[in-house]
Amino acid sequence: MIRLEGIGKEFGDFTAVKELSLEIPEGKTCVMVGPSGCGKTTTMRMVNRLIEPTRGTVYIDEQDYKKKKVEILRRDIGYVIQEVGLFPHRTIAENISTTPKLAGWDDKKIKKRVDELLEIVELNPEENRNKFPRQLSGGQRQRVGLARAMAADPPVMLMDEPFAAVDPITRENLQNMFLRLQRKMKKTIIFVTHDINEAIKMGDQIAILKEGELVQADTPEELLANPKNQFVTDFIGVDRAIKILDLFSTDEVMWTEAPVISKKNMQEEAQKLIEKGEKGIPVIVEDEQGNKFWFDLDELESGQSLEEIIRPLEITLEPTNSIKLAMARMLEHNNDAVLIIGDDDEEPGILTLKGIRNYVYRICASDPGEKVEI
Among 42, 43, 97, 99, which residue interacts with another protein (rule: CB under 8 A)? 99
Which of 2, 158, 207, 254 is the binder for another protein (CB under 8 A)? 158
What is the nearest approach in angstroms of another protein to the Cβ of residue 217? 24
**Residue 147 touching another protein (CB under 8 A):** no
Binding span for another protein by CB under 8 A among 59-67, 98-106, 222-230, 364-372: 98-106
For 304-332, give one letter per residue: b (16+ CB within 10 A) or e: eebeebbeebebebebebbbbbbbebbee
Report the residue number, 76 or 296, with the smaller CB distance to another protein: 76
Among 71, 106, 268, 288, binds another protein (CB under 8 A): 71
The CA distance from 336 to 96, in Å, is: 51
Residues 28-67, interacting with another protein (CB under 8 A): 48, 50
In the complex with another protein, the residue whose CB is nearer, 91 or 321, is 91
Of 139 and 348, nearer to another protein (C-beta) is: 139
Whether the CB-CB separation of 296 and 325 falls below 8 Å is answered with no
Query: What kind and span of H or E run contains 18?
Result: strand 14-24
Residues 106-145 that bind another protein (CB under 8 A): 132-137, 145
Min dist CB 51 to another protein, Å, is 11
Q: Is 74 in the site for another protein (CB under 8 A)?
A: yes
Q: How far apart are CA 240 and CA 237, in angstroms?
A: 6
Q: Cα–Cα distance between 278 and 43 in angstroms, integer?
A: 54
Q: Using CB under 8 A, pick the residue from 15, 54, 57, 91 that binds another protein.
A: 91
- Binding piece for another protein, criterion CB under 8 A, among 13-21, 86-94, 239-247, 350-358: 86-94
Residue ranges of alpha helices (H) inside 255-350 are: 266-275, 306-309, 323-333
Residue 75 binding another protein, by CB under 8 A: yes
Half-sphere exposure of 286 (CA within 13 A, CB side): 9
Q: CA-to-CA distance for 178 and 220, rounded, in angstroms?
A: 18
Query: Cα(284)–Cα(292) distance, rounded to whole angstroms?
Result: 7
CA distance 116 to 126: 11
83 forms part of the interface with another protein (CB under 8 A): yes
Give the CA distances from residue 201 to residues 29, 151, 233, 243, in Å, rounded to whole numbers and listed in that order. Answer: 11, 25, 17, 10
Q: Of the candidates 13, 36, 67, 88, which one interacts with another protein according to CB under 8 A? A: 88
- Among 30, 60, 81, 270, contact with another protein (rule: CB under 8 A): 81
Is residue 87 part of the contact set for another protein (CB under 8 A)? yes
Residue 89 or 371: the one with the smaller Cβ distance to another protein is: 89
Q: What is the pairing mode between strands 311-312 and 260-262?
A: unpaired
Comparing CB distances to another protein, the nearer of 86 and 340 is 86
Residue selected from 86, 236, 247, 340 as contacting another protein according to rule CB under 8 A: 86
CB atoms within 10 A of CB 294: 23
- Which of 21, 61, 63, 72 binds another protein (CB under 8 A)? It is 72
Please count the other Cβ atoms lying within 10 Å of the Cβ belonging to residue 19: 15
Among 65, 79, 163, 359, binds another protein (CB under 8 A): 79
How many residues bind another protein (CB under 8 A)? The answer is 33
Phi-psi region of 93 (alpha: psi -120 to 50; beta: other; left: phi over 0): alpha
- Element at 5 (helix H, strand E): strand 2-11
Neighbours of 205 (CB within 10 A): 23
DSSP state of 302: G
146 binds another protein (CB under 8 A): no
Question: Which C-beta is closer to another protein: that of 102 or that of 215?
Answer: 102
When the beta carbons of 148 and 324 are compared against another protein, the nearer one is: 148
Please identify which residue in 56, 85, 342, 348 interacts with another protein, judged by CB under 8 A. Answer: 85
For another protein, the binding residues (CB under 8 A) are 48, 50, 71-75, 77, 79, 81-91, 98-99, 102, 132-137, 145, 148-149, 158
